[in-house]
Structure 1
Amino acid sequence: MMNAVMIVELKKHVQDKGLVFWIFLLPILFTVLFIAIFTSGVDDATRQEVIQSIVPGYVVMFVFFIMISMVEVFIKDRDKGMTARLASTPLKSYSYLLGKWLPFMFIVLFQIIVLFLFGKVVYDISLGEPIILLILSLFITFTVTALGLAMSLIVNTENMGIAITQIIALGGAMLSGLWMPLEMMPDFMQTIARFLPQYWAHQSFQDAMAGTTQVSELFQTLGVLFAIGLAAFIIAMIRYPYFLKRAVN
């Protein structure tokens, strides 16, 4: 039963042109635009250094926008009666949540791979430690979609979900040094950054791209990302009964 839910959801998302825009076209457009702006008139060495920061920075920023699609899917299912109908079947609550959640994990992981490959093909970015990049991609995928799952079961409307996602994605990007080097930011903002998943993912992506990953720092990043994702999943499980009570029969 869970597999059926997952397959149906995955097919639906693949055919969603709006989702394609959010996860592929918009990140690529922003990446090209900001690289053109920030590398105008600089030497080749500086240009490549800027590119090596912008590409992973925008990868990390834009993966968070999947949360909008997650909220939209759960709210529509709730309001159209689909959630209530599935709840009346032998399908377990965790199976329902996993069936809805896993397709988004596949999509985000594919998004990350495509955006890094775009950076490699178009800007010749360094992918010094591809295995570590893949591991980091898996962990940030888990974290982002777990946060999206929790938010989908907490918010009451799609507009609320969109507003919160923008705060998380754009505010987190600004505070985590995705738009400018963290060293250029005030000390209090650098302190705040260490509490955000964007900071850990971006720093580790840059280290892996440069081939300078330290094992202790990598495990610290993975631990932080997993802890945030696990906490979000637990919140989602706790909130599911309340979400179900609001579902239309």
Structure 2
Amino acid sequence: MWAITTVELKKKLQDKGLWFWTFILPIIFIIGFITIFSGVNNMEPEQLVTQIVPGYTVMFSFFIMISMVITFIKDRDSGMVARVASTPLPLKQFLIGKWLPFMIVVIIQIIVLLTFGVVVYDLPLGDPLALSVLSLTLAFISTSWGLAMSLLVNTENMGIALTQVIALGGAMLGGLWMPLEIMPDYMQTIAKFFPQFWGLEGYKLILVENGQIIDIWLPILVLISFGLAGGLLAFLAYPRFLRQSRS
């Protein structure tokens, strides 16, 4: 399992496309939207920063699903999955070994984006323990959903399209693009059905209200529940994924 994790992590860190989606594009979006809204919006600078930096951190964490879909589809079509299935390596260890590198990449992404917010925009970080637990939970849900999608979709294009729907649709409806307070009541209700809302809610409790770990128990519980659902779906989808693999 650890051998798979090490090999996959090295490949991901050498993938320039992944670097673009994971680090460069989010930073461009953060700079662009803070610049735009600081000139046309009446929000206080600190309120603007604590909305946009964690908001886009949450949104772009879900873009890891694109890389996961591409990786698993390539392994399936190349026969790698079928060859691994013929070895004594248990299914659980194979999936965990493939999943962990993406989890690590998302954690690094969150650290980089929040650090950028601190250095450039004086983003307050709040309680380190609460921030760490919430960030781990966010990485868990985004990658567990990515794993489920990777084992369910038939083509890379289908996976990429669904990622756009989940990442961008969830960001829009989950209140990542603009404060929910200025949206209609029904939109505020709809937002609570999306994990992106709970991710941002947890960050705002920590960054804005100096919340501790006990104060973010609900966002963490909701995110873990979404993540476990994704993991279960991936486990159930694996037999079908294996049947599709070339021998």
Would you say same fold, with TM above 0.5? yes
2:114 corresponds in structure 1 to 116
2:29 corresponds in structure 1 to 30
Choose which of 172, 177, 181 in structure 1 pairs with 2:179.
181
Cα deviation, residue 41, structure 1: 6.2
Residues 51 and 125 in structure 1, CA contact (< 8 A), matched pair in contact too = yes
SS in 2 for 1:30: helix
SS in 2 for 1:90: coil
Cα deviation, residue 182, structure 1: 0.5
**In 2, Cα distance between equivalents of 1:40 and 1:186:** 24
**In 2, Cα distance between equivalents of 1:187 and 1:117:** 33
After the TM superposition, which residues 157-196 of structure 1 pair with which residues of structure 2 at under 5 Å, given as runs?
157-196=155-194
2:101 corresponds in structure 1 to 103
* 1:173 aligned partner, one-letter code: A
Choose which of 46, 63, 66 in structure 2 pairs with 1:65.
63
**In 2, Cα distance between equivalents of 1:161 and 1:205:** 28
Residues 58 and 200 in structure 2, CA contact (< 8 A), matched pair in contact too = yes
Structure 2 unaligned regions, length at least 5: none
- The TM-score normalised by the length of structure 2 is 0.96
Choose which of 204, 207, 213 in structure 2 pairs with 1:206.
204
**In 2, Cα distance between equivalents of 1:41 and 1:245:** 54
- The TM-score normalised by the length of structure 1 is 0.96
- The number of residue pairs the alignment matches comes to 247
Q: What whole-Å deviation, never above 9, does each CA across 1:146-202 have from its counterpart, x for those lacking one?
A: 000000000000100011100000000001111111122222221111111100110
Q: What whole-Å deviation, never above 9, does each CA across 1:103-133 have from its counterpart, x for those lacking one?
A: 0000000100110000000111111222211
Choose which of 133, 144, 147 in structure 1 pairs with 2:131.
133
Cα deviation, residue 207, structure 1: 1.3
* 2:20 aligned partner, one-letter code: F
**Greater Cα shift, 207-216 or 23-32:** 207-216
**In 2, Cα distance between equivalents of 1:21 and 1:191:** 34
Cα deviation, residue 42, structure 1: 6.4
2:38 corresponds in structure 1 to 39
> Equivalent pairs: percent with the same residue?
56
1:145 paired with 2:151, answer no
**In 2, Cα distance between equivalents of 1:159 and 1:101:** 20
